[in-house]
Amino acid sequence: MRIRDIPDDFIVEEVPSIEILQKGKYPVFKVSKVNMTTFAAEKVLASHCGVNFKRIGVAGLKDTHARTAQFFSVETSEPQKGVFEEKNVKSELVGFSDVMLRTGSLKGNKFTIAVRALREGEVSRAQKNIEWVKKGVPNYFDSQRFGSLKGTDGFIAKDIILGDVEAAVKKVVSATNRHQKSVVRNARKFIDAHWGAWALCEGYLRKEGLERTNEMAIVSHLAKKPKDFDGAFDLVFGGVRELFFSSYQAYLWNECVMRLMKKLSKSFFSVKYEAGRLFFAREMSLSGTFPLIAGDMRTSKENMEIIKSVLKNEELKVEDFFSGKYTFIARERDMVVVPEKFSFDVADDERHKGFKKCVVSFYLQKGSYATIVLKSLFEM
C-alpha cells in the first residue's frame, strides 16, 4: 500500500469561509502549488505583488508533498500583478473580499486521494469498511500535528509543565530527522554530543555558516548565561512554541477519546501514528464534543474522570495546565467527523503492475484529517 506515490495522488482544495465578491477591498487569489510549502507560495505571491508578506492573508497551511489549491488575500491596489504561472505554482484572481483571510478562515477541504499498490484483500477490506466510515470516524489529530516529536523521546510541552526546561531546550536544538538539511542535522548532533560546552558549540555553528539560525541564538544565549534555560526557550519563535503546547493538547485529546470509545464500543483495530497508536471501532457510540485539556475548561463529571485517568499516566494533574506564561486554550472538538460527498473507485494501478489503485474523494470540515479517513478505511 502506497500513499503520495506522486504529488497528484494527494489533491487538496480549500473551501474558504469568507464571501468572495466581484468587488471589494482585498483581491483574493487561488494559488495552486505542488512540492512547495505554503510559506514559499506566500513569498512568491508577495514578490509578484510587490508587497511585504505581512500584507498577505492565508487561511491555513497545506502539505508540501501534495497538489494543493488554497486561497490568499493581498493588500494591494494592483491585483493583476498577482496573476502568474511558474514552476510548481500558479495564481489566479478569483474575486475580492471586504476582509483579509486569517488563520481558520475555512469551512473545510476537498480531498481526492489515490491509494496505490493494493492487493485484492486490502481493497476488499476497505470496501467492507465504506458504510461505517461514511457514517463518521473518530476525529483524531493525526501525525501531521506531531512534527515536534520527530527525533525526540517525548513532548517538549510536557517537559515545560514538569519544570524540566533544560530537557525541552535540548529537544528544540538537538532533535534530528531525515527532513533536515545535512548541515543542520550534523550541527544538532554536535550540540547533543557536546551539551553544555556552549562556546565549543557556538564555534562549530559559526564555522558551518549557521550564525542566523535559532540553534545559534539559543547556544549563544547559553554561552553567556549557562543556566538560563527559560530565557533560551523564550528565543524559540512564538508560533513554534504554541505548536509545542497545542500538539501535546492534541495527543491528550486523542488519548481521552480513545478511552471513552473503548467504554462505549466492543471491538477495535489499531494503527500506528507519530504519537503512538490510534484505536478505531466499526460500531461507534461516540457523539458530541470533548474538551482539549486546559486549566479553565468546564466539562462533565464523566469526561473529567477520563481526563484525570489519562493525566495520571502522564504524571500530571489538571491544575498543571494553569500557566501565566504558556497558554492552554480550552475549547471543544467534535469527537466524530463525517466525510461528506464520499466516493470510492477501484482500478488497476498503472504504476505498480499486478496491483490495484483506489481513488477516494470526500469533503471534511476544517481541522479534520483526511489521513484518519484513510486509516479507518484501509486499517493501515
What amino acid positions are annotated as catalytic residues? 63
- Phi, psi of 26, deg, nearest 5: -120, 125
Which amino acid is located at 316 in the chain?
A: L
Q: Which three cell numbers stand for residue 254?
A: 486523542
User: Do 179 and 203 contact (CB within 8 A), yes or no?
Assistant: no
CB contact at 8 A, 1 and 380: yes
Q: Which three cell numbers stand for residue 215?
A: 540553534
Give the containing element (helix H, strand E) for 342: strand 340-348
DSSP string, 231-275: HHHHTS-HHHHHHHHHHHHHHHHHHHHHHHHHHH-S--EEEEETT
C-alpha cell read off for 321: 495546565
- How is residue 5 annotated by DSSP? S
Neighbours of 186 (CB within 10 A): 14
- Tell me if residue 291 falls in helix, strand or coil: strand
How many angstroms separate the CA atoms of 321 and 95, rounded? 43
